[in-house]
Amino acid sequence: MRTVFLGTAELARHSLQALVRSPQVELLGVVSQPDKAKGRQLRQVPSAVKVEALKHSLPVWQPSLLRKDTRLIEHLNCLDIDVIVVAAYGQILPASVLEIPKFGCVNVHTSLLPRYRGAAPIQWAILNGDRETGVTIMKMDEGLDTGDILTQMKTPIHPIETGGELHDRLAELGANLLVDTLPKYLRGNLSPDPQDPEKATYARKLSKSDGQVNWTRSAIELANQIRGLNPWPGTFSHLSRGSDSRLIKFWRAEPLSGDDAEPGTVISASPTGVIVACSKGHLRLTSLQREGGKRLEAGPFLAGFPIKLGNRFANSHDRTTVIASQPRPQDDQHSDFPANWSSYPYVFQSDLCFPNSVEGPTNLCAGPA
């Protein structure tokens, strides 16, 4: 199978590795996003996929915007490509690229489509309290994760699994399903299955502000937020100790039952955890980090940064209408929103905007459909 791979993020590196190992795949080259300036010195850092491709002496192309790079598109047209494989590339492909391979473009997506189309399906599955997720191998079209489904594989979400841990599992699961699916698809042994648009939800891209904790939510929802946004963007809140206010990051937490108290109030602080009141139940914080400090378990953290009964964590500002009021950008190629984003179902909360979830929180108000 004469194959070109498009990918950028760490998740995509696993799929590239699987293609390199497959004796049935002839990799002709890799397309990845341009190197990015990172760190205080703004050094140019290559993508995880580029690093992996160079290990195997594969040609690497890095257009800033593939749909406008006519020279690269012309070059790809000359390669007699059977299939283009896409995983976490970061750009929507135009028809001029989708039409190049004989068998089209195939995408690895880390959700059970049509659920969680978009940029952050792994995190949103945990945020919504889903018990199950999976990976989808899809034949791409010009929409955002709207193509026909070739194969899917389900997996449970473990009760204390973080976004990072689930990411790593799904990366491997998707890579294995990819190399199992490709030969069957190219031999004509698979029938693409159209997605049901009525069941589609959209997992918007996350930002650092999504990590701000609102203690007026339930302990279960906050525990899901903390593990779902671990390692990025992470969760945080400001703790008031008298006249002192410090930003504290949270890495691990567990929900507890408990009597009502003012949300954000510290109920107890011991080596087993810092217990904070929520709108429903209490949250035990077991791994914390103060600004400028190291990530620590509760015992060592409290030894260097005492927290007392009655100290208060501040509640975040209400961001209910952020998504609903934000206009769709004109250039869909740079957008985190699908072209028909306003038709996607949402559930709105005071802090985060959750795509509708069958198994997720039920005490939320329905947003515009």
CA–CA distance, 355 with 121 (Å, rounded to integer) = 10
**pLDDT at position 315:** 82
**pLDDT at position 331:** 36
**Residue that terminates a domain, selected from 148, 181, 202:** 202
CATH of the domain at 146: 3.40.50.170
Secondary element (H or E) of residue 26: strand 26-31
Question: Is 148 inside a domain boundary?
Answer: yes
pLDDT tens track for 320-365: 322 322 333 333 333 343 444 334 443 333 345 444 333 333 322 2
**pLDDT at position 352:** 52
Looking from the CA of 304 toward its CB, the CA atoms found within 13 Å total: 13
CA–CA distance, 67 with 98 (Å, rounded to integer) = 10
* Of residues 250, 257, 255, 218, the one with CA closest to residue 236: 250
CA-only gyration radius of the chain, Å: 22
Residues 252 and 289: beta-carbon distance below 8 Å: no
Expressed in percent and rounded to 5, the helix, strand and coil fractions of the chain are 25, 30, 45
Residue type, 96: S
CA–CA distance, 113 with 268 (Å, rounded to integer) = 43
**pLDDT at position 39:** 83
Q: How confident is the model at residue 317 (pLDDT cuts 50, 70, 90)?
A: low
In terms of domains, do 55 and 143 share one? yes
In terms of domains, do 300 and 160 share one? no
Dig out the tokens for 160 from the structure: 């204390």
- When the pLDDT of each residue in the chain is averaged and rounded to a whole number, the result is 87
**pLDDT at position 212:** 96
Question: Is 350 inside a domain boundary?
Answer: no
**Residue that terminates a domain, selected from 285, 313, 341:** 313
Give the number of domains in the chain. Answer: 2
CA–CA distance, 319 with 60 (Å, rounded to integer) = 41
In terms of domains, do 190 and 262 share one? no
Question: Is 337 inside a domain boundary?
Answer: no
**pLDDT at position 38:** 87
Dig out the tokens for 111 from the structure: 């959700």
Query: Which bin fits 114, alpha (ψ -120 to 50), beta or left (φ > 0)?
Result: alpha
**pLDDT at position 260:** 85
* Of residues 21, 18, 7, 143, the one with CA closest to residue 84: 7
pTM of this prediction?
A: 0.86
* Of residues 309, 290, 299, the one with CA closest to residue 250: 290
- Parent domain of 182: 2-202
Say what percent of the chain tops pLDDT 70: 85
CATH of the domain at 226: 3.10.25.10
**pLDDT at position 117:** 97
In terms of domains, do 254 and 178 share one? no
pLDDT tens track for 167-176: 999 999 999 9
Question: Is 336 inside a domain boundary?
Answer: no
In terms of domains, do 194 and 218 share one? no
Strand order across the beta sheet in which 346-348 lies: 353-355, 346-348, 365-366
In terms of domains, do 149 and 227 share one? no
**pLDDT at position 184:** 97
**What phi, psi does 255 have (nearest 5°)?**
-80, 145
CA–CA distance, 110 with 367 (Å, rounded to integer) = 25
Dig out the tokens for 304 from the structure: 């260097």
pLDDT for residue 281 is more than 90:
yes
In terms of domains, do 40 and 143 share one? yes
In terms of domains, do 195 and 220 share one? no
In terms of domains, do 155 and 241 share one? no
Question: Is 357 inside a domain boundary?
Answer: no
**pLDDT at position 358:** 35
In terms of domains, do 66 and 156 share one? yes
In terms of domains, do 72 and 189 share one? yes
Question: Is 56 inside a domain boundary?
Answer: yes
**Residue that terminates a domain, selected from 313, 335, 358:** 313
In terms of domains, do 238 and 274 share one? yes
